[in-house]
Structures are given as structure tokens and as C-alpha cells.
Structure 1
């Protein structure tokens, strides 16, 4: 169930010329892929507006605060142009860990595979991830997002 999310996140990273798919790419892909995610991630209208605004800015290159973080060097965040990558990007450490934890959570609840809510919960539960920082910047408490996603 995460294959479409992963494909969207990969396309975002490739379009941006990013070396890795980070948790921010995954969060953005989740919001595009599953209508429940926005309501759980940002239940208040102002939170939803801020979150979608951050993601839109990041998509078009304005969110420079999000340029440096998971999997990116300080030089890249300092305005040195990035080259478009010919290879498909892999997952950042934080993104890979969240996907792994989502798969474990699915097994614990006797599901065949992880779903978008499993991944949302795990992205939000890592306070150092870009996704958690984006949620916090939108006024949402990432730990509360994780609890809501796990409660289904």
C-alpha cells in the first residue's frame, strides 16, 4: 500500500535534484495519496493551510529553510547549486527508518503490509526528521499526529 507513496516521493526528489528521498518528500507524497492524512496531520484549518503552504513552497523551491537537513550537505544548503541526478535517489536514514518502523507496526496489527497511516505515525514520531519539523512548523504537535494516526 506504500508503493504509490514511495513512487510519488521518488518523483519529487528526482524533480528537485535531491540526492535522497527524505521524510519531507514522504510526508508530501502521503498528503497527496491519502485523504485521511491531512485531517490527522493537521486537523485545524490553520494548520492544514500552513502545512500545505510549506509543501508548496518546498516544491517550487522557495522553502530554503527546508533545503538543508536529512541527507544534504551544508554546501548544498548554503546556496551552491545542486546537479540533477541521473540515478534514482535512495532513502535518507530517517526516511528508511520510518518506513521500516511502519512495516513493523503493520505486522503488529496483523496487517499484510504498512499503509499510509502507519507511515504517517512513524514520520511524526521521529522529532529529528524533516517531516516532524514541517508538522511542528505548521502548528501541529508531531507526537499528537503519531497518536491520532495510530488510533485510526
Structure 2
């Protein structure tokens, strides 16, 4: 993926959390392009290139999806199920990024084939450190089928 623009789809309804993610990635120069959507319905429109997201030049496939679980309109677990049942997008890595430590949420997410489950730290420093590590892992160190 050297030289390729890296795309992240951030599905997060909390504007403060979204801002923290985007600022952290920018500060660490990890992601070239973060596409932020605020609810589940919009995430699916983006992924399936519907409505305002129909142009692949302005709505490219993400290299990784950061998905909150508690979302308006369509819940994160339902989005995950739809992603994994779609041949065209099922292989995109999905990282759940949530405040929920509930064992039931973790189990449900993994049963729907997430790639990782991360609980957002409550302190800024911890959150920033996690975003830096996450960015480097998924976007710099991890190898994808399309990697060189």
C-alpha cells in the first residue's frame, strides 16, 4: 500500500469522540483520508455507494471501518451483519470502537466476525495512544490481500 491513499470509514455519532479520532490520526499522520458518518443508515449508504455517496472517486472503499456499536437509525451490530453478508464489502476489516465493556456486546460483535474490539479509554492520553497504535497497526503494519 506504499504511496496509496489510506481510507478510514469512521462510523461515530458522538461528535466529541469523532473529533478525537480524527485529530489523533492527523497528529500521528496515520490516515490520509477519514470519511466520517454519524449514523448507521449513512454508513450503509457510504459502503454501498448510494445517494450522495454514489461516486467512487469521492466515496472510496475504506481500508478499515471504525464502528461504534450504539448508533441511531441502524445499530452497529446490524451494520456489521450486513457488511459480512455482502460479497463486495465483506472483507473490509471492521474494528469496533465503543464505550461498552459488556461481555454480551463483545461476544455478539465477535460472533458477527469483527476483526477487533476496542473500548474507548476515558482519559485523553489513553485514547490518543490507542488511536496511534490502531492507526499504525491497521494502516501501516497490517497486510491486506491487495498489499504488495
TM-score by length of 1: 0.31
More strand by share: 2
Higher helix proportion (structure 1 or 2): 1
